[in-house]
Amino acid sequence: MPLLSANALGWLIESALSTQSLLLGRAVHAHIIRTIESPFPPFLSNHLINFYSKLDSPNTAQLLLSLTPPRFRSVVTWTALIAGSVQNGHFTSALLHFSDMRRQSVQPNDFTFPCLFKASAFLHYSLMGQQLHALALKGEEPPNSITFCVFLNACSDGLYLKLGQQLHGYVIRFGFGSDVSVLNGMVDFYGKCHQVKYSELVFNEINVRNGVSWCTMLAVYEQNDIWDNAFMLFLKARKEGIKPTEFMLSSVLSACAGMAVLELGRSIHGLAVKACIEHNVFVGSALVDMYGKCGSIDNCESSFYEMPERNLITWNAVMGGSAHQGCADMALSLFEEMTSESHNVVPSYVTFVCVLTACSRAGAVKIGMDIFESMQKKYGIEPGPEHYACVVDILGRAGLVERAYDFIKKMPVPPTVSVWGALLGACRVHGKPELGKVAADNLFRLDPLDSGNHVILSNMFAAAGRWDEANLVRKEMKDVGITKGAGVSWISAKNSIHIFQAKDTTHERYPEIQAMLAKLRRVMKAEGYIADTNSALYDLEEEEKESEVWHHSEKIALAFGLIAIPPGVPIRITKNLRVCVDCHSAIKFISGITGREIIVRDNNRFHSFKDYQCSCRDYW
């Protein structure tokens, strides 16, 4: 390395930190030792201490501090050490460093306190937090916009709503109620505390909004699943002449994923290409996630492989999309590729949820159990409720329902709703009403107001011809005031979203929809289709039950799709509840007689129907 100035060396250390390159940082450190006499200029020592602290090399950072003469140890030096300790979870060390800093009569600044508050919060040292609060208020720097922004960030991270609201009062009191940076911080703070109305009030108070203002409010809507508002705000920002940024597009793409609106997602993709940011790692990851959740696995895969740089979020998105669309082999292959020597990406908690889901979809019992065992042994990741639920699902799907129940009984943690729900689903599919009753009773205890579990149990008894028990479950629902949520399906056509409920008669094309439903019914009967009437709500006559299931919302949406969407274009339907057995059988049959690809996303997974087959292999 040629002889470099001190400023250039400082810049190289920052570059090594931003790229998380310990090797580069050490090389620069070695060059400093060879070319610059000790003691180093204070700012270089600060750069190095910050670098080693942030990259979790506390011993090296501490050694550098001891080699720095006390007169050169400024608040920047100590704050770098404290911030690095907090960032890497060494909370006690952070507070000890602060104690040493105070012994040397170094005063904390605006950046020191948030780190100390976070350390105190994680350690549950409430008294320490109160003392730090008092110290901050007694400080001699009057508060400025940076002070308020840093404190708001700390309140956001800890979800300290009351403290943040008190700080809001200080913002107004000290005359910063019109400072755009502080107000942007307030919007973010309230959004992370799920107080969206307050975020909107603050946003509307900003007289001159900048790009950050729009991005922050958009993120608030997206993070709180208010996707319609996110779309509307994005359109308003575009009309105001706000240029799309990586952060803005990734947020609106996440909203598209939540609503499963593929056409809008594709238009956002076009904006990203036009702005030359589609290969940005955040935008690219959001595109992969959006296409996966919108049921377009080909676009999901191509977006993934077109990315020049991928992070863990990208890998999780493509694996999750593959698993939920039934492309389990692809998801397992991606997991092997991700953890291979060529990529060497360390899987996370979420990664294992994705890959175990893929194993359950593929019926890969041995592979799934081996991966589950490797979580802690190989990667040091403690299994959580989602992982245990996946294992129960893996065993249940394979028909090993009793083994799944034994697994639940041996779990080291109390089974959650998702665990018992997986067992109940397996009992429904494999006709195990007695064990299903055990699972349902536990679900009723954990989540007594969820109508879905009652309906599954009732339908399970009905399918077994045990109508008295089925009706008893329905009666219990009524007695305690539990009502089944209305089934709603929606479909996008010609840049509009059309929403349908069961027995819906309000759509402007209702006569055409009914004509299509009647035509389908005639053709299907002629081809030998027999309706599965076990999904009917009551012990009705067979003809009445067939009429009941024929007017479910997903069938109405499909009939509309057949008359509104041109041949050759996949029909994409989203439903708020799980698709019923008869609708699943009927749509599978319709895909064959019409030659159409039909993709249904219910509240559990994707179903890709084509040529009389479904990607879920009739287990959902």
Q: What is the pLDDT of residue 73?
A: 87
Q: CB neighbours of 604 closer than 8 A, spacing ≥ 6?
A: 578, 620
Give the Cα separation of 88 and 84 in Å (integer).
Answer: 6
Instruction: Show the tokens assigned to 184.
Output: 């942007």
Distance CA 242, CA 214 (A): 8
User: Considering only CA atoms, which of 275, 287, 216 is closest in space to residue 250?
Assistant: 287
Q: What is the pLDDT of residue 433?
A: 85
According to the model, what pLDDT value does residue 186 have?
94
pLDDT score for 484: 67
Question: What pLDDT, in 10s, does the model give residues 231-241?
Answer: 899 999 999 99
As a whole number, the mean pLDDT across the chain is: 86
Q: What is the structure's pLDDT at 279?
A: 87
Which structure tokens are listed for 495?
Answer: 């840049």
Q: How many other CB atoms are found less than 10 A from the CB of residue 590? A: 23
pLDDT tens for residues 259-279? 888 888 999 999 999 988 888
In this predicted structure, the answer to whether residue 537 has a pLDDT above a threshold of 70 is no
Helix (H, G, I), strand (E, B) or coil at 575: strand
Please tell me the predicted confidence (pLDDT) of residue 503.
Answer: 80
SS (H, E, C) 501-518: ECCCCCCCCHHHHHHHHH
Rounded-to-integer distance, Cα 373 and Cα 378, Å: 8
What pLDDT, on the 0 to 100 scale, is given for residue 540?
Answer: 44
CA distance 267 to 279: 16
pLDDT digits (tens, 9 = 90+) for 399-435: 999 999 999 999 998 999 889 889 988 888 888 888 9
- What is the distance, to the nearest Å, from the Cα of residue 524 to the centroid of all Cα atoms in its chain? 40
Q: Look at 173 and 355; give whichever has higher pLDDT.
A: 355
Flag whether pLDDT at 139 surpasses 70.
no
For 360-405, write each residue's pLDDT tens digit: 888 889 999 999 999 989 988 899 999 999 999 999 989 999 999 9
Rg, the chain, Cα only? 29
For residues 541-569, one letter each, b for 16 or more C-beta atoms within 10 angstroms of the residue's C-beta and e for the rest, the string is eeeebbbbbbebbbbbbbbbbbebbeeee
The C-alpha atoms of residue 421 and residue 392 are separated, in whole angstroms, by: 9
- pLDDT tops 50 at residue 170: yes
CB burial of residue 133 (10 Å; 0-12, 13-18, 19+): middle
DSSP for 411-478 reads -SS---HHHHHHHHHHHHHHT-HHHHHHHHHHHHHH-TT-HHHHHHHHHHHHHTT-HHHHHHHHHHHH
Residue 459 has pLDDT above 80, yes or no: no
Consecutive H or E run containing 272: helix 262-274
Structure tokens at 157: 């991270």
Question: Which sign, positive or negative, has the C-alpha torsion 235, 241, 245, 248?
Answer: negative
Q: Are 440 and 456 in contact (CB under 8 A)?
A: yes
Nearest to 48 by CA among 71, 5, 97, 81: 81
Three-class SS of residue 166? Answer: helix
Q: Could you give the percent of the chain with pLDDT greater than 70?
A: 94
Q: Give me the pLDDT at residue 62, please.
A: 87
Q: Determine which of 129-138, 441-450, 476-485, 607-616 has the lowest per-residue pLDDT on average.
A: 476-485
Residue 244 pLDDT more than 60? Answer: yes
Nearest-angstrom CA–CA distance, 135 and 299: 55
Supply the pLDDT for residue 541. 47
276-296 per-position pLDDT tens digit? 888 888 899 999 999 998 888
Scanning the structure block, which residue is given the tokens 């803005």? 248
| Per-residue pLDDT tens over the stretch 36-56 | 877 677 888 888 888 898 888
> Can you give the length of the chain in residues?
620
**Range among 27-31, 248-252, 260-264 rated most confident:** 248-252
